[in-house]
Amino acid sequence: MKTQQCPACGHKINLKQAAEAKKLNGIFMLQCANCKQWSHENRKAAIVKNVGLILMLTGSVMGYFQLGGIIIGPIFAFTGGLIALATQLAVPRKLHTP
């Protein structure tokens, strides 16, 4: 079960039972069922995370087809995965202010 903590009230939000979720300008927004506050990821962090995921996917495809040698693809995939994971864990969600 995926949960996130609301930055406003600290309530644990189950992603499947959230009050509401929407995507606005490519950013995933989530509404807390407890305080009804919207939160979203930092725009720059979302871009870095997506670059990491694309790098991980590219490295996986390179490794599968053994493009660029036997070691280059897995290194790209590992580096992209580290970038995406570090960005997801290190940058907190922000409150949405309309």
**Cβ contacts of 31 within 8 Å, gap of 6 or more:** 18, 19, 20, 21, 37, 38, 39
Backbone angle region of 83, left / alpha / beta, with phi > 0 → left and psi within -120 to 50 → alpha: alpha
Confidence bin at 21 (pLDDT 50/70/90): confident
Average pLDDT, the chain: 87
Show the tokens assigned to 72: 């280059």
pLDDT of residue 19: 65
Residue 95 scores a pLDDT above 60: yes
For range 45-58, the mean pLDDT: 94
Task: Output phi, psi for 29, to 5 deg.
Answer: -110, 145
CB 2 within 8 A of CB 16: yes
- Name 28's bridge partners: 23
CB 79 within 8 A of CB 55: yes
Residue 89 scores a pLDDT above 70: yes
